[in-house]
């Protein structure tokens, strides 16, 4: 007998989760579809090192595969790696974390931040982000039902956080503040007064701070400081870092979270049930990265410094005001003197001169007059791109 099944409840599509459905697709995807189909295009759009992973690190990964270290590791990650990480944090920031209780190795900062947010944020809780900021933050918060409260910062104020604006944004629903210094996309760092003021706000209002310090090793003039080093802040900060940018290891998917035990206990449960552990091969490679690759990291930093100096001066000469980034590998020049909106600027530049840059609005509304250009590209490509940009600006 043939059964006819009748669906009276709506389409399968209607079953999609609201939060996931409501997240807008990445604002730059359409744009990059054009980039990939444009021959001879130079992309200053990519947010990853152009260097290959230092060979000694890759070689260790290959050894790990050959020697059969291809199984699950402890959920928290290899103890040797956790030991190296806590030693490095203590040396750099004077804060001690227990390798047994207060560190979890994750699949990049991306996964670390996701499970950190899920450990803290209930639906309806507010999380303050500082715009312009990394494109994933808003989606990460919204996917778990959190409410994003964005504080704008401006080039005219050196992208410094206005503390009064921040204070006003704190409500009874605020759970956390998410920081990222050095910043993607502005390259700005945070000064000690601002950091101290944020710590005060966090303590007075019982807030958590998520501190994404993924660019901490790509820092130019000043030393990198972390909010964890301020009194009372280790207890309420989730420190996030990783190997993607520092060691040109984006594809290895490895990062780590450090935090107080009460928080890591909860975070670890989410990690256990959703990921088990970070990739074993990458963890072995990261041990080599932590033990023996400081010279390679310094070499990359020196290269970025040369490129930064060049690209900043070329943008300013072209009449597009550009602050010199204190860290990371991005510049965020102001394109408003051209009279074009940044999306129009980016699209025309791509079509007429075959240079891809990211319109600043994707990092938050306050970025709309800007474009983000990554100088994680060869000096030769940067020179050619800047010649083309100069020609484009003159043609307007
Ligand atoms: C600020 C920031 N955080 C996190 C990430 C992602 O890092 P990971 O590769 O460790 O997941 C990026 C990547 O561009 C980033 O710019």
The reply to whether omega before 358 is within 30° of 0 (cis) is no
**DSSP type of residue 203:** H
Residue 62 maps to a domain: no
**DSSP type of residue 127:** E
Give pLDDT, residue 130: 98
**Looking at the structure, do residues 35 and 93 belong to the same domain, yes or no?**
no
Domain boundary among 236, 266, 292: 292
**Cβ contact 281:65 at 8 Å:** yes
Residue 65 maps to a domain: no
Give pLDDT, residue 1: 67
Residue 4 maps to a domain: no
Task: Verify whether ligand 1 is closer than 6 Å to residue 47 (CB atom).
Answer: yes
**Looking at the structure, do residues 77 and 49 belong to the same domain, yes or no?**
no
Is the Cα torsion angle 361, 365, 368, 371 positive or negative in sign? negative
The CA angle 122-123-128, to the nearest 5 degrees, is 75
Task: Verify whether ligand 1 is closer than 6 Å to residue 255 (CB atom).
Answer: yes
Can you name the residues that pair with 95 across neighbouring β-strands?
none
How many helices (DSSP H) and strands (DSSP E) are in the chain? 13, 12
Q: Tens of pLDDT along 370-392?
A: 999 999 999 999 999 999 999 99
Task: Verify whether ligand 1 is closer than 6 Å to residue 242 (CB atom).
Answer: yes
125: left (phi over 0), alpha (psi -120 to 50) or beta: beta
**Looking at the structure, do residues 338 and 280 belong to the same domain, yes or no?**
no
Query: What is the CATH classification number for the domain harbouring 368?
Result: 3.90.1150.10
How far does CA 67 lie from the centroid of its chain? 33
**Looking at the structure, do residues 29 and 83 belong to the same domain, yes or no?**
no
Give pLDDT, residue 24: 83
CA of 213 to the centre of ligand 1 (A): 9
Task: Verify whether ligand 1 is closer than 6 Å to residue 183 (CB atom).
Answer: no
**In 10 A of CB 260, how many CB atoms?**
17
**Looking at the structure, do residues 274 and 300 belong to the same domain, yes or no?**
no
Give pLDDT, residue 9: 82
How far does CA 7 lie from the centroid of its chain? 44
Q: Whose CA is nearest to atom 14 of ligand 1?
A: 47
Total structural domains in the chain? Answer: 2
**Looking at the structure, do residues 37 and 181 belong to the same domain, yes or no?**
no
How far does CA 382 lie from the centroid of its chain? 22
**Looking at the structure, do residues 152 and 266 belong to the same domain, yes or no?**
yes
Task: Verify whether ligand 1 is closer than 6 Å to residue 49 (CB atom).
Answer: no
Residue 388 maps to a domain: yes
In angstroms, the Cα distances linking 343 to 133, 156, 331, 347, 348 are 17, 21, 16, 6, 8
Task: Verify whether ligand 1 is closer than 6 Å to residue 244 (CB atom).
Answer: yes
**Cβ contact 259:238 at 8 Å:** yes
Instruction: Give the sheet arrangement for strand 330-331, strand by strand.
Output: 330-331, 371-374, 358-359
Domain boundary among 268, 292, 316: 292
Which domain covers residue 283, as residue numbers?
70-292
**Looking at the structure, do residues 173 and 282 belong to the same domain, yes or no?**
yes
Query: What is the CATH classification number for the domain harbouring 175?
Result: 3.40.640.10
**Looking at the structure, do residues 285 and 306 belong to the same domain, yes or no?**
no
**Looking at the structure, do residues 17 and 151 belong to the same domain, yes or no?**
no
CA of 91 to the centre of ligand 1 (A): 23
Positions in the chain short of pLDDT 70:
1, 27
**Looking at the structure, do residues 121 and 191 belong to the same domain, yes or no?**
yes
| C-alpha span between 242 and 61 (Å, rounded) | 16
Task: Verify whether ligand 1 is closer than 6 Å to residue 77 (CB atom).
Answer: no
**Looking at the structure, do residues 310 and 269 belong to the same domain, yes or no?**
no
Q: Tens of pLDDT along 294-314?
A: 999 999 999 999 999 999 999
Task: Verify whether ligand 1 is closer than 6 Å to residue 28 (CB atom).
Answer: no
**In 10 A of CB 53, how many CB atoms?**
21
Give pLDDT, residue 361: 95
Residue 182 maps to a domain: yes
Mutate which of 49, 130, 135, 136 for ligand 1 pocket (most atoms within 8 A of beta carbon): 136
Give pLDDT, residue 37: 84
Domain boundary among 234, 258, 292: 292
| C-alpha span between 14 and 256 (Å, rounded) | 37
């Amino acid at each position: 007998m043939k059964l006819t099944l009748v669906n009276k409840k709506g389409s399968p599509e209607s079953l999609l989760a609201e939060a996931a459905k409501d997240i807008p697709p990445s604002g730059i995807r359409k744009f990059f579809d054009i980039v990939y189909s444009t021959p001879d295009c130079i992309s200053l759009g990519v947010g990853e090192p152009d260097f290959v992973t230092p060979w000694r690190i890759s070689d260790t990964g290959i050894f790990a595969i050959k020697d059969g270290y291809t199984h699950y590791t402890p959920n928290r990650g290899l103890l040797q790696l956790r030991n190296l990480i806590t030693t490095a944090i203590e040396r750099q920031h004077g804060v001690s974390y227990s390798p047994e209780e207060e560190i979890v190795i994750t699949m990049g900062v991306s996964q670390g931040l996701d499970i950190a947010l899920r450990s803290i944020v209930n639906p309806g809780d507010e999380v303050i982000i500082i715009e312009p900021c990394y494109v994933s933050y808003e989606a990460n918060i919204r996917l778990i039902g959190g409410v994003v409260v964005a504080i704008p910062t401006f080039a005219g104020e050196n992208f410094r956080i206005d503390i009064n604006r921040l204070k006003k944004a704190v409500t009874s629903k605020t759970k956390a503040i998410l920081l990222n210094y050095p910043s993607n996309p502005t390259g700005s760092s945070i000064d000690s007064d601002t950091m101290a003021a944020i710590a005060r706000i966090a303590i007075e209002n019982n807030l958590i701070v998520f501190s994404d310090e993924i660019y901490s090793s790509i820092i130019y003039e000043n030393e990198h400081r972390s909010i964890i080093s301020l009194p009372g802040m280790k207890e309420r900060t989730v420190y996030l870092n990783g190997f993607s940018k520092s060691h040109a290891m984006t594809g290895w998917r490895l990062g780590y979270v450090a935090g107080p035990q009460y928080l890591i206990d909860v975070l670890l449960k989410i990690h256990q049930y959703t990921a088990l552990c970070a990739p074993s091969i990458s963890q072995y490679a990261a041990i080599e990265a932590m033990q023996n690759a400081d010279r390679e990291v310094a070499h990359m930093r020196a290269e970025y410094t040369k490129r930064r100096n060049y690209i900043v001066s070329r943008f300013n000469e072209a009449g597009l005001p550009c602050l010199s980034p204190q860290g990371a590998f991005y510049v965020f020049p102001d394109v408003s003197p051209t009279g074009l909106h940044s999306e129009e600027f980016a699209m025309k530049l791509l079509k007429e001169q075959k240079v891809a840059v990211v319109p600043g609005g994707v990092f938050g509304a306050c970025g709309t007059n800007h474009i983000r250009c990554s100088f994680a590209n060869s000096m030769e490509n940067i020179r050619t791109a800047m010649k083309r940009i100069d020609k484009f600006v003159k043609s307007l």
